Structure 1
Amino acid sequence: MSLADNIKKLREDKELRQKEVANALDIGYSNYNKIENGNREISVKELQRLAEFYNITIDQVINLNGGLPKEVVIEDKQANEQLRLISELDTDDRAIIFKMIDKMLTSKKFKDFFNKNVASL
């Protein structure tokens, strides 16, 4: 199998669309399509992003052997950074933030429940 075939197989095994993978690589859909069809070489930077996206090594992309992870997680980098910063706060400040979040989530659940049940009347 060629590198292009491996890249296509990775995407198809995860039941992803080309556009989703192109967005993860920060390239246009048509450029990604050309990579999968073997009409354009993938850059080292794009190959690194692809491996990170699938949570595998570059070697695994190049020498695809079927040992793929079961799940692809698309991370929200801003949310991860915010959680990291929250974890650096002292215990009391963290507790306040989590109480606020809990209250907001409880309010949203109540609103959703109320709207659903009022709508059915």
Structure 2
Amino acid sequence: MNLGEIIKKIREQKGLLQKQVATELGIGYTNYNKMENGNREPSVKELQLLAKLFSMTTDQILNFEGQTPLEVTIEDKKDFEKINLNNQLEEEDKQTVFKIIDTMLTKKKFKDFFDKNVATL
């Protein structure tokens, strides 16, 4: 499959019209149609906008395997599955998750300390 065919397949799986995607990319319908037909390659910026629109990474688009990824939710997963999902993130994203957890733990410790010491006054 060439890149145009991949973009078309993803667009169709997402239930989007060519006109909608063209508008999001800030290009005319004709230019977008040429892209899907393989007569025009998307620019890097357009590829980034497509990734954002499709809720995918550019790498997922370029290495598309036939199905768009399903939305991942972790609320109903067991703890070990949540950790495994976190391990699949890129290093920068992992660090962001850990910073959020650190912040929440610090707030909890401060609240516990405050509750314990104010209660004794």
Q: Is contact 1:6–1:61 with CA below 8 Å preserved after alignment?
A: yes
Greater relative CO (CA pairs within 8 A, separation 6+): 2
SS at match of 1:38: coil
- In structure 1, the partner of 2:91 is none
Alignment of 1:43-54 (within 5 A): 43-54=43-54
Question: What letter corresponds to residue 50 of structure 1 in structure 2?
Answer: L
1:37 aligns with 2:37: yes
- In structure 2, the partner of 1:110 is none
- In structure 2, the partner of 1:12 is 12
Question: What letter corresponds to residue 52 of structure 1 in structure 2?
Answer: K
SS at match of 2:39: coil
Off by >3 Å, runs of 4+ in structure 1: none
CA displacement, residues 2-34 of structure 1 (integer Å, 9 cap, x when unaligned): 111100001111221100011111111110000
CA displacement, residues 53-90 of structure 1 (integer Å, 9 cap, x when unaligned): 1110001111112342457xxxxxxxxxxxxxxxxxxx
1:68 aligns with 2:79: no
CA distance in 2, matches of 1:45, 1:5: 19
Q: Is contact 1:54–1:69 with CA below 8 Å preserved after alignment?
A: no
Percent identity for Structure 1 against Structure 2:
59
SS at match of 2:12: helix
- TM-score (ref. length: structure 2): 0.55
Question: What letter corresponds to residue 24 of structure 2 in structure 1?
Answer: A
- TM-score (ref. length: structure 1): 0.55
Q: Is contact 1:35–1:42 with CA below 8 Å preserved after alignment?
A: yes
CA distance in 1, matches of 2:21, 2:63: 19
CA RMSD of aligned residues (A): 1.5
In the alignment of these two chains, the number of paired residues is 71
Structure 1 gap ranges (5+): 72-121
